Amino acid sequence: MPSTRRRLRACHECDWVSALPALSPGEKASCPRCGHVLAQRHFRPAERSLALALSSLVALAIAVSFDFVRFEFGGIGNRIELLETVTTMISFDQPIVAICVVLAIVALPALYLCGVVWLNIGLLQRAPLPASRQIARTLAHLHPWMMADVFVIGALVSLIKVAGLAEVSLGIAFWAFCIFALLLLLTMQSIDSDWLWFSLAAEPLAPSGSHAGATAASQGLGGCRTCGLVNRLDARGRGRCRRCGESLHDRLPNSLQRTWALLFAAALLYIPANLYPIMTTTYLGNSDPSTIIAGVVELWHGGSAPVAAVIFVASILVPMGKLIALAWLCVAARRNSGHHSEVRTRLYRVTEFIGRWSMVDIFVVSILAALIRGGALMSITPGPAALAFASVVILTMLAAFAFDPRLLWRSSPILEEPAHA
């Protein structure tokens, strides 16, 4: 449909402009050039999202109100609540790690769910509530930073590590949090962004002269990453979305420079993250500092090969692989000749998706430090590598967000990236 100006979308990954067809519930529309999903329709999206969000909030309230795990060894026992994984890290002089944990598993998910409830109540009343557009914009940026599902994996790894040494029992909060993590994931998947923004602010026609079957940049256009609307950009390749107010650029300013800087910082911190102990185990008065790789070896020799494999992949392979993959993509974008762009884009999607799973080791440390506090008899304390490793995870995630995959689809070598500063 090269002549239509209705329902145009510019792909965020390859910049190809397409016209969305009419979608029925359960259907999705993908970019014909790179396969990126442009829109996905759900059945009764407002009712579905509202029900899931309210259920998630109830499960979260239960998870923070009751005992999470109980631990008993040699007549000494301890029981912790979910938020003690945060307060314990503060008591061990790890406030930054504690902030990362509480934001990832409680604060940001609760904020996201409250926003979903607020938006969908207004949509069901056919009268959006105040600040709905600002809330919808915020929700779009929260997705990668909510890690309740990663925390569940971390909790399971923690329990396996101590199950052979002591008696461990799971509290109501543990099961409630598992349900919460599942419901949160379903809530995020239930958000029909295309329908949401159409219901909030309709959809004006694309700028005059716009058409499908070409890149947005070649037409002086930019697609909004938040609401999807195609907008006209100024001579500097900048603009602001007419529907949601998001800042727009034909290419992310200084994308490769910022990606390289973040990768360099992450690579530097990756060294102390692996050289220094991530936690210290005290057993019968003897202290044993443990690095990440030493913990993997200990799990392997202890008969927990699957858990050792999970930690090795999440804490060793994923961060290193992400550093190498993003560095290679930066080089490929600089020397791009238009070949293998689709393969490189798929690699980018993988690196963007897997980065958050490296936080599993940080969650393991926070849970074990809170649970096992038996003094000289048996206790676990976080080590200096915890902050360095958490920083590596965050920096590599930021590097993936700073990289503009549209650079991979240029047909000529990049001599200099547009800065638009």
Residues 379 and 265 in one domain: yes
Give the range among 70-84, 105-119, 347-361, 387-401 with minimum mean pLDDT.
70-84
- Tell me: do 74 and 223 sit in the same domain: no
- The answer to whether residue 419 scores a pLDDT higher than 60 is no
Q: Are residues 69 and 142 in the same domain?
A: yes
**What's the pLDDT at 412?**
39
What pLDDT shows up at residue 79?
A: 85
Query: Where among 213, 242, 271 does a domain terminate?
Result: 242
pLDDT at 30 over 80: yes
The answer to whether residue 2 sits within a structural domain is no
Range of the domain at 223: 8-41+204-242
Whether 108 maps to a domain, the answer reads yes
Task: Report d(CA 417, CA 421) in Å as an integer.
Answer: 11
Which structure tokens are listed for 180? 């919460």
How do residues 31-89 score in pLDDT, each as one tens digit?
A: 999 899 999 888 889 999 999 999 999 999 999 999 999 877 666 677 889 999 999 99
Per-residue pLDDT at 99 exceeds 70: yes
Residue 47 vs residue 414, higher pLDDT? 47
Q: Does pLDDT of 127 surpass 80? A: yes
- Tens digits of per-residue pLDDT, 263-308? 999 999 999 999 999 888 876 667 778 888 888 887 787 667 777 8
- Tokens encoding 106: 């409680």
Same-domain status, 69 and 129: yes
Same domain, yes or no: 34 and 78: no
- Would you say residue 84 lies in a domain? yes
One domain for residues 153 and 268: yes
Q: Are residues 219 and 291 in the same domain?
A: no
Is residue 314 in some structural domain? Answer: yes
pLDDT for residue 415 is more than 60 = no
Q: Is the pLDDT of residue 414 over 60?
A: no
Strand 238-240 relative to strand 247-249: parallel, antiparallel, unpaired? Answer: antiparallel
Q: Which amino acid is at 119?
A: L
Confidence tier at 374 by pLDDT (50, 70, 90): low
Q: How many residues belong to the chain?
A: 421
Number of domains in the chain: 2
Task: Identify whether residues 180 and 328 lie together within a single domain.
Answer: yes
**Quick check: 214 pLDDT over 60?**
yes
Per-residue pLDDT at 312 = 87
Residue 186: what pLDDT?
95
Q: How confident is the model at residue 377 (pLDDT cuts 50, 70, 90)?
A: low
pLDDT bin (cut points 50, 70, 90) of residue 1 is very low
Is 1 inside a domain boundary? no
pLDDT at 75: 66
247 assigned to some structural domain: no
* Residue in 403, 88, 370, 66 with CA at minimum distance from that of residue 256: 403
> Percentage of residues in the chain with pLDDT exceeding 70?
91
CA 207 to chain centre: 33
Cα–Cα distance, 149 to 81 (Å, whole number): 18
* 78 & 145 share domain: yes
Q: Are 322 and 405 found together in one domain? A: yes
- Output the pLDDT for position 173: 95
**What SS3 string covers the chain?**
CCCCCCCEEECCCCCEEEECCCCCCCCEEECCCCCCEEEECCCCHHHHHHHHHHHHHHHHHHHCCCEEEEEEECCEEEEEECCHHHHHHHHCCCHHHHHHHHHHHHHHHHHHHHHHHHHHHHHHCCCCCCCHHHHHHHHHHHHHHCCHHHHHHHHHHHHHHHHCCCEEEECHHHHHHHHHHHHHHHHHHHCCHHHHHHHHHCCCCCCCCCCCCCECHHHCEEECCCCCCEEECCCCCEEECCCCCCEEECCCCCHHHHHHHHHHHHHHHHHHHHHCCCEEEEECCEEEEECHHHHHHHHHHCCCHHHHHHHHHHHHHHHHHHHHHHHHHHHHHHCCCCCCHHHHHHHHHHHHHHHHHHHHHHHHHHHHHHHCECCCCEEEEECCHHHHHHHHHHHHHHHHHHCCHHHHHCCCCCCCCCCCC
Half-sphere exposure of 348 (CA within 13 A, CB side): 27
- Are residues 56 and 30 part of one domain? no
From CA 18, how far away is CA 214, in angstroms rounded?
Answer: 8
Is it the case that residue 260 has pLDDT exceeding 80?
Answer: yes
Average pLDDT over every residue of 91-116: 94
Same domain for 156 and 64?
yes
